[in-house]
Amino acid sequence: MGSIKVKTEQVVEQLRASQGNISFAAGKLGTSRETLHKYINEHPTVKVALEDIRESTVDRAETMLQQRMSQSDTLLIFFLKTQGHRRGYKERTEISGPEGEPIPISIIKMRVDEL
């Protein structure tokens, strides 16, 4: 696995074809993940393109989720827990003692010289 010897446009195209998967794109470019990461960090246009590719992938995934939510309560609950926080949809955990009773707490005061 060696250095990247293609134009930045070709690197961006491989990143797009791999939907932002660095390992897959590196393999297609005949290089290592580490070399591709270094290349991306040294080429701001490639870095911005990768961020855009990944955002587009998340957008597509959200669209797919929204389409499937009408047939799946599990997906609907997942969406509301992750995206509906401002409207009160969040996982809430309460801790209590046996049979819902309060948990007894004891406060023990100690002097510093007892530590």
Determine if the pTM surpasses 0.75.
Answer: no
> Quick one: pLDDT at residue 111?
81
> Quick one: pLDDT at residue 31?
95
Q: At what angle do helices 44-68 and 33-42 cross, to 10 degrees?
A: 110
> What are the pLDDT digits (tens) for 101-110?
889 888 888 8
> What are the pLDDT digits (tens) for 36-67?
999 999 999 999 999 999 999 999 999 999 99
* Residue 37 token pair: 């990461």
Cα–Cα distance, 46 to 54 (Å, whole number): 12
* DSSP code for 79: H
* DSSP code for 6: S
- Vertex 103: Cα angle to 99 and 109 (nearest 5): 160
Residue 103 has, within 13 A of its CA and on its CB side, a CA count of 6
For the chain, what are the domain ranges?
8-92
* Residue 108 token pair: 């023990």
